[in-house]
Amino acid sequence: MARIIGGIGTSHAPSIAHAYDKGSQAEPVWQPLFDGYGPAKEWLKRTAPDLMIVFYNDHMNRFFFDAYPTFAIGVGDTHKLADEGWGRRDFPDLAGDSDFAWHVARSLVADEFDPTICQEISIDHGILSVLPLLWDAPWPAPILPFAVNVIQHPLPTARRCWRLGEAIGRAVASYPKDMKVVVVGTGGLSHQLHGTRFGFMNAEWDNEFLDLIERDPEKLVGLSHHDYMARGGAESVEMIMWLAMRAALTPQVRRVHRNYWGPLITGYGLVVYENQE
């Protein structure tokens, strides 16, 4: 049977991709971020998962407001990289596992979650900004991308994301093939990218979030979008995608790693958890 071995929560940001592509990894303002991914990369190398499920959001690259899905699942065998408006990054496309992904889609719908099922999906910085910090290309395993609307309100609630993660857990557990799966949630932490509140960050709240998601996630599940936006800035509402990751794991987890660095306009967070059998 397939089983989830652990999870990763990580920020995603164009700035991370930009710093990476410019070779800024050793600059003082970026080093604490990039070095912070070392233990996560090491853990993935050691545990060698057969597949990665990633909860992320599309930043207006695959989807537009002509028809914007609340939830969308990529079920193809390949996921192309997006041109976000400044050219495609120089990395290989991602592989998918179509059999597994269709199983997850069937299981979710039977479980009363109804994602838009995408045989073609393109991947933007919601996944790709951090993927090279976790894995070396060529990518060692397929990815199942799961997009969540955190952009156009009304958004799914924090609790809905939690329940989605639980349903993903059941979907993995019912897949007959022996597979080790890692679940990733991307986004946040505090940031606001528009208006006169541009640049709003809240390191204290970010760290409280990192405490709670590990030990007492129910406190986060009960918060409204307004609570998230007030505490962490309008765009930080992405943090609800970490809840889907956490819900797919065991109630108690072993923390492998945690990092936080917020030098510019985004509180960059990272956690790695192992399931407790």
Partner 1 sequence: MTETARDRDDLPGTFVFTGERSRAGYRLNKLAMSMTDPANRKAFLADPDAYMARMNLTLGEMDMVRRRDWARMIEHGGNIYLILKIAGTVGVTLLQMGAQMRGETLEQFLATRPGHNLMKRGAH
User: Contact positions toward partner 1, by CB under 8 A?
Assistant: 14-15, 24, 27-29, 59-61, 64-66, 82-87, 151-154, 157, 192-199, 201, 203, 224-226, 229-230, 234-235, 262-265
Residue with tokens 């299981």: 107
CA distances, 93 to each of 77, 127, 131, 137, 143 (Å): 10, 12, 12, 10, 11
Is the CB of 60 or the CB of 95 nearer to partner 1? 60
Is the CB of 60 or the CB of 173 nearer to partner 1? 60
Q: Are 155 and 63 in contact (CB under 8 A)?
A: no
Is the CB of 3 or the CB of 159 nearer to partner 1? 159
Is the CB of 31 or the CB of 276 nearer to partner 1? 31
Cα–Cα distance measured from residue 106 to residue 100, given in angstroms and rounded to the nearest whole number: 10
Q: Supply the minimum distance, in Å, between the C-beta of residue 41 and partner 1.
A: 23
Task: Indicate which residue of 125, 194, 225, 257 is catalytic.
Answer: 125
Cβ density class 32-52: b for 16+ within 10 Å, e for less: ebbebbeebbebbeeeebbbb
Q: Are 141 and 50 in contact (CB under 8 A)?
A: yes
Is the CB of 128 or the CB of 181 nearer to partner 1? 128
Q: Supply the minimum distance, in Å, between the C-beta of residue 197 and partner 1.
A: 3
* Helix H or strand E segment including 221: helix 218-221
191 flagged as catalytic: yes
Q: Supply the minimum distance, in Å, between the C-beta of residue 234 and partner 1.
A: 5
Task: Indicate which residue of 18, 59, 191, 226 is catalytic.
Answer: 191
Cα–Cα distance measured from residue 96 to residue 215, given in angstroms and rounded to the nearest whole number: 32
3-class DSSP state of 55: strand
Q: Supply the minimum distance, in Å, between the C-beta of residue 162 and partner 1.
A: 15
Cα–Cα distance measured from residue 237 to residue 228, given in angstroms and rounded to the nearest whole number: 6
Q: What residue type is assigned to position 182 of the chain?
A: V
Q: Supply the minimum distance, in Å, between the C-beta of residue 259 and partner 1.
A: 15
Catalytic residues: 125, 191
